[in-house]
Amino acid sequence: MVVFWRLGFPRLERTFRRVGLNHLEYGFLAVLAEQPEGAMPAGDLAELAGISSSRLSHRLKQLEATGDVERRTDTHDRRSVIVAVTDQGRTKVDDVHQQHLADVRQLVFDHLTPEQTGALAEAMVAITTNLTAHPFLHGTNDG
């Protein structure tokens, strides 16, 4: 995993950088673009990304400054902020999406047999299940 992170991840990042994004920002835009109205509460986006509201706010300021997202007050809960992907942000996601999939295929899946791909999928499910079961993820870790 460390080798992939150190050698493969920078190759994936290059695709995002072509449109002025990093992987986290691409992820935000992609999630928003998949929403029915291209928008969701900022708190939900932070929770989904596993980051603090302040870190999300910092990233959203950058994305807002470049015209990729808009923030507005939730009409149903004035304390909440809704984040919406703009047409420009959606275009960036569309421009990068196919290349990102090709990069992942090339770096990971093109070198695996179907059996290895199945084993990797099973392993990732087990890892995800384990990680999401940990108390620290839910703010209940006493240690």
Structure tokens at 62: 């950058």
What pLDDT shows up at residue 141? 44
CB-based burial label for 143 (10 Å; 0-12, 13-18, 19+): exposed
Kindly state whether residue 38 falls inside one of the protein's structural domains.
yes
Kindly state whether residue 143 falls inside one of the protein's structural domains.
no
Kindly state whether residue 73 falls inside one of the protein's structural domains.
yes
53 in Cβ contact with 43 (< 8 Å): yes
Amino acid identity, position 113: T
Kindly state whether residue 142 falls inside one of the protein's structural domains.
no
64 in Cβ contact with 86 (< 8 Å): no
CATH number at residue 42: 1.10.10.10
How many separate domains does the chain show? 1
What pLDDT shows up at residue 97? 92
Give mean pLDDT in consecutive 10-residue pieces for the chain, a chain of 143 residues: 85 90 93 94 91 92 96 88 96 93 92 95 91 60 43
What pLDDT shows up at residue 142? 42
* Residue 97 structural domain: 2-136
Which of 48, 10, 35 minimizes the C-alpha distance to 89?
35
